[in-house]
Amino acid sequence: MDNSVKVQAYIFFTVFYGGLIVGFIYDIYRGLRSYLNPTRIATFVEDLVFWIIITLIVFFILIKSNWGELRGYIFIGLFLGIYLYLKTLSKLIYPILLKLLRLIYLILSKLFMIILWPFNMVRKMLSPIFKKIKKANNVSKQMLKDTNKYIKIFSKKK
């Protein structure tokens, strides 16, 4: 590989942009976590998926920019991109991202309600029937208990 300053600058800025992308994905991850309120296990799974995605992105950038060679300026470029994104662009993008995630959440919840509406209507229509069946079942269970009680009383040996 040609190690001229021009090529190294290209690689540095490519990895720097990769750091900006990693920072943006981190903002997406933070936004999703703020809406999902995950449990401990879900947090572990989300963290694992996040790091797998970040690893694949960095690996892809390294392969495409310099055939996967690791040099000091590559790490500097990556971390500088992440740092500058989190200190500058994140303050502008994160609030917009939260509003966008809220909008997506509202749209999906409305869509989900529209999809579930026919099922809720059927449930409301069948609910009185199920209540009558449940009541009849409870009455039959009570009758069976009473019958068993009387059978035990009359079947006792004297």
DSSP the chain: ----HHHHHHHHHHHHHHHHHHHHHHHHHHHHHHHH---HHHHHHHHHHHHHHHHHHHHHHHHHHHTT---HHHHHHHHHHHHHIIIIIHHHHHHHHHHHHHHHHHHHHHHHHHHHHHHHHHHHHHHHHHHHHHHHHHHHHHHHHHHHHHHHHHHS--
Our CA angle for 149, 151, 155, nearest 5°, is 125
Q: Is the pLDDT of residue 158 over 90?
A: no
pLDDT at site 2: 55
| pTM exceeding 0.95 | no
pLDDT at site 5: 85
Which of 92-96, 123-127, 153-157 shows the lowest per-residue confidence on average (mean pLDDT)?
153-157
Question: What ranges do the domains of the chain cover?
Answer: 5-155
Q: Is the pLDDT of residue 66 over 90?
A: no
pLDDT at site 156: 67
Residue 19 near residue 80, CB atoms below 8 Å: yes
Torsional class of 4: left (φ above 0), alpha (ψ -120 to 50), beta (otherwise)? beta
Nearest by Cα to 24 from 62, 53, 47:
53
Nearest by Cα to 95 from 34, 18, 19:
34
pLDDT at site 34: 86
Q: Is the pLDDT of residue 118 over 60?
A: yes
Q: Which two tokens stand for residue 51?
A: 């790091």
